[in-house]
Amino acid sequence: MRAGGQLFILSAPSGAGKTTLLKQVMQQVRGLSFSVSHTTRAPREGESNGVDYHFVSVDEFLQMRDKNQFLEWAEVHGNFYGTSKPEILKTLEQGLDIILDIDVQGAAIILKDKLVPAVSVFIAPPSLAELEKRLRGRGTDSDETIAVRLGNAEKEMQAAPDYEYLVINDSVEDAAAALVSVIVAERSRSRRLPTGEAIDLNLFCRTV
């Protein structure tokens, strides 16, 4: 029988390159599912509903919150974000590992409540100067928005020591390799193969 899955919590400041990093990791690692969060913010160019996020209205979000359907939820940059509790529990029961991309507020809630055991990883840029360069390179945010994001990033990065793992995203390839190593190591610790399949411990018993 396959072992239950593992929840991996990933947090990073906006512009740290987490989205690009995760795309590479998801292509390299088998048995890995991406948790699609709910949000009230508008879709960005190229984003799809149900793939990048579940885009919902404020009223829909608040109804879900009041029904206790979120593992965690938070307000970030004036928008609501939440993680579906039923979806997470169902996926873990199926034996799939989950990558949960959430901010430091949401991560702190899950790690404190311990409703679902989780491995925490913080993705950081090489420096705040590099982060600003990346944010401006997007060409999608105003100077005021960038200033807010940089201020938030400085605060968020103070939470990095609270995470079990820290990955610096200077090179996407190197950062992806580091994150893959974390996943494989955690699977080995829970007696699973790098693919996520459970190891049959009877293999180590002497047969008569």
Per-residue burial over 58-96, b = 16 or more CB atoms within 10 Å of its CB, e = otherwise: eeebeebeeeebbbbbbebeeebbbbbbebbeebbeebb
pLDDT, position 167: 95
Residue 116 Rama label (left phi>0; alpha psi -120 to 50; beta): beta
Note whether residue 124 is domain-resident: yes
pLDDT, position 2: 42
pLDDT, position 3: 54
Note whether residue 2 is domain-resident: no
Domain that residue 50 falls in: 7-204
pLDDT, position 207: 62
Residues 62-95 pLDDT 10s = 999 999 999 999 887 789 999 999 999 999 988 8
Whole-angstrom Cα distance, residue 61 to residue 58?
A: 5
Note whether residue 141 is domain-resident: yes
Residues 121-135 pLDDT 10s = 999 988 887 877 877
Structural domain total, the chain: 1
**Whether residue 165 has pLDDT greater than 90:** yes
> CATH number of the domain that 111 lies in?
3.40.50.300
pLDDT grade for 114, boundaries at 50, 70 and 90: confident
pLDDT, position 126: 85
Note whether residue 143 is domain-resident: yes
**Whether residue 48 has pLDDT greater than 60:** yes
pTM over 0.85: no
**Residue from 117, 83, 107, 115 nearest 161 by CA:** 107
Note whether residue 1 is domain-resident: no
Note whether residue 93 is domain-resident: yes
Question: Hey, which of 70-74, 153-157, 177-181 has the most confident mean pLDDT?
Answer: 177-181
